[in-house]
A and B are shown apart, each in its own frame.
Chain A
Amino acid sequence: MSMRYAHFQPLFRAGRLLLCMALLSFLLLAQTSDPSQCAAQGSCPVPAAYGRQPYPDELINAFDRAGTNRLGNEGPSLPQIWKGYPSSQARLVSPYVPCILLKVIGYTESTGWKQFAADYGRYGYTVVSADCGYGIMQITSGMGGGAGFEPGRVSAEPAYNIGTGARVLIQKWNGLNVYIGNNNPYVVEDWYYAVWAYNGWGWVNNPNRNCPDNNPNCGYAFNPFRPSFNGSQPRSWYPYQEIIWGYAGHPPGAGFWEAVPLTLPSRRSITNPPPPHIVTPRPFHGSCSIVYLPAILKNYPR
């Protein structure tokens, strides 16, 4: 089963990397120039990289800067984001993703903000899921290239990976034709639909996709009696976006983020399919520090 693969993944990947390097050398010597042949050696489009797994406090700035488009050369370019509702009154503004969402999604996707399969401060290979999700934000789409970011850097660089997660979230936000409140990206609660889409839009995460026999373990639907997610319950009981909202208010430890008790829309307001517009759930929240300190100025204990 999978953990068998998970445990031996680094070895496999190391071997695969060596094989790829050897093949690439051969191809270069043979004056062919198709490095994609190398990537095609594995089942995923980009090889795992080898790198140091940062401690959580080393990553907080990257999350804050990614959300406010301040990663510079450390991240991909972010597209502008639509702001305003109705759509006829919307306009494109500077990219922005609430930092709390980036942090919580990163934690949910790669428990503990893991870019590499190694303990904090140690070295290992990129965390790559069985369905080819890469690193902290588990980037899947666009890893074959041509999506406006560099797949190799998604695999190798934690900050770039986080920035790509921000890019994907903005694309989800811009791509949906359903809206919350004034469609204001600075209001975290307005991101409910976009976060839903980050994992899978449609029925798969509809909060009213209830278990038919009130059996919370029925496996293809959610527990209709689920209390708010606080990190202690099975994830399969919850739509993805409710997990993100729940973790935001219940951080898994002191080193990740300050609790932000985000407000969910009433489940009853989300129909099948969901309505094109619902009001912003209240109280609503903002996110991201106005001022951040560069990592070099932080007094990290390690």
Chain B
Amino acid sequence: MTPSPTILPEPSPPLVTVTLPPYPPPQTPTPLGTLTVVPTPRVTAAPPAPGTPTAVPTPSGPLPPGLKVVYGETDGLSGKTTIWLASAANPTLRRVLATFDHKVGYGVQGAVSPDGNKIVCLVIPSDAGERAARTTAGELWVVDLDDASLHRLANQAGYLAMWTPDSRALVFGRLVALENPKNPQAPFRTELYLVTADGAEQRLLLVDETAYGLQPLGWSVDGQQFYYAIVTLQGQWELWTVDRTGGLTQFQASFPSQYLIQSASLSPDGTKVLLKVLDRGQYALIVLRVDGLEQKTIVSGATGDQPINQYAAIWSPDDQSIFAHIPPQPGQPAHLERIDLRTGQRRVIPTEPIGRDEFVIPQAWSPDGKWLVVLKYPRLQSLAYLMQATGGPMAQIPLTQSSNWVNLFGWTDRR
């Protein structure tokens, strides 16, 4: 074990360095008759009707068993996105799920349902204006991972949906411009809707036109409360919930007011919020209980205006750890760490050597805890990598053209 050179706000156990395992990891032998080669990205034989999402059949068969990543690959110049399903163990094994034509300059955002059966996609239509593209122009489509069928779920969406824990419904939001805003700083009304996955029922959950901003955070573990943060016109962040059934809102806690809060992320079990804050010129990561009664600084001290100087962190699927990009400090380059929230133990996660001006930031942690997706700066839009959560070699999520954009939607074990 190597003693940690990092100064922590609280005493912490030693830093642990792990040796690099091979990539790809040992795999289950592929059953005969299943796909073993990379399908060449296909040109659709007959162009689909313009703007119509196309479910592409998969004649080449299912992928090998094991966890898969679902991601979008966007040609930013033509406004076309292909949704791929790829093996986490070997992402070059992939198949097309659907394609979308959409507004040039925008990708397709998506989220896999917690049960891994469906994907919801937010698509900005080609004729949307620049303002509408940021507020109300989106269309929500659901792709079924079993048969690649898809159906339109809702129109006029501005926010990507968040699935309920039971995968039966999801929340989406929109920003509606106000004719006569009460305060010029808040010229939009935020609306949140709950819609069932089959589109049969859509209900307005929440309307707010008093806050400066509203940020959806996620569901309580029982799926009954939806957490969101509002930023008041005075700049104060507050945590609120809205009830799934009745639309009743309830104040939960104020976020620490002494910081400039930059982002908030709800833990998977809905009991804690991870905050990235700026405190008198220094960045810090703070974990706050949703009732506001307990707050803990996880790491702090980073300074500087460049992207590399910021912390970045994601929750582990079991809520017990975070995975963080740690900015460079004297004598220590930027690196990834896994931080155990119970013990405070910090473990450096080794990655492949990267360029001098590059660094990687964590983006997603697989539900089984084994895999990570990281992005490499500065080409974050194109360079996404799969690696084991213990560190090691990184496998790039494949793109048909290197200039295309990659956009992770989530994880599934469907084939």
Q: Does A177 contact B (CB under 8 A)?
A: yes
Q: Does A277 contact B (CB under 8 A)?
A: no
Q: Among A111, A203, A209, A227, find the residue whose CB has the most chain B CB atoms closer than 10 A.
A: A203
Size of chain A's interface in residues, with CB distance under 8 A? 60
Q: Does B197 contact A (CB under 8 A)?
A: no
Whether A177 lies near B375 (C-beta < 8 A) is: no
Q: Does A212 contact B (CB under 8 A)?
A: yes
Interfacial chain B residues near A225, Cβ < 8 Å: 307, 310, 312, 361, 375, 377, 380
Question: Which of these, B128, B136, B188, B380, contacts A202 with CB under 8 Å?
Answer: B188
- In chain A, positions 169-208 with a C-beta closer than 8 Å to chain B are 175-177, 199-206, 208
Known: A209-B213, A219-B109, A224-B262. A130 touches B137 (CB 8 A): yes
Q: Does A214 contact B (CB under 8 A)?
A: yes
Interfacial chain A residues near B109, Cβ < 8 Å: 217-219, 236
The interface stretch among A1-9, A34-42, A282-290 is: A1-9
Interfacial chain A residues near B187, Cβ < 8 Å: 200-202
Whether B362 lies near A130 (C-beta < 8 A) is: no
Complex: A225 Cα to B136 Cα, angstroms: 25
Q: Does B414 contact A (CB under 8 A)?
A: no
Q: Does A234 contact B (CB under 8 A)?
A: yes
Q: Tally the A-B contacts, defined by beta carbons under 8 Å.
A: 220
Whether B231 lies near A272 (C-beta < 8 A) is: yes
- In chain B, positions 207-226 with a C-beta closer than 8 Å to chain A are 211-217
Whether B184 lies near A177 (C-beta < 8 A) is: yes
Complex: A108 Cα to B131 Cα, angstroms: 11
Interfacial chain B residues near A130, Cβ < 8 Å: 125, 127-129, 132, 137
Known: A1-B125, A9-B127. A202 touches B106 (CB 8 A): no
Min Cβ gap A220→B in Å is 4
Interfacial chain A residues near B185, Cβ < 8 Å: 201-202, 273
Interfacial chain A residues near B129, Cβ < 8 Å: 109, 129-131, 133, 138, 140
Instruction: Give the nearest-CB partner of A134 in chain B.
Output: B129
Q: Does B355 contact A (CB under 8 A)?
A: no
Interfacial chain A residues near B100, Cβ < 8 Å: 1
Complex: A32 Cα to B262 Cα, angstroms: 59
Additional A-B contacts beyond A212-B265, A217-B107 (9; CB < 8 A)? A129-B127, A131-B137, A133-B130, A175-B184, A200-B187, A208-B262, A212-B263, A234-B381, A268-B278
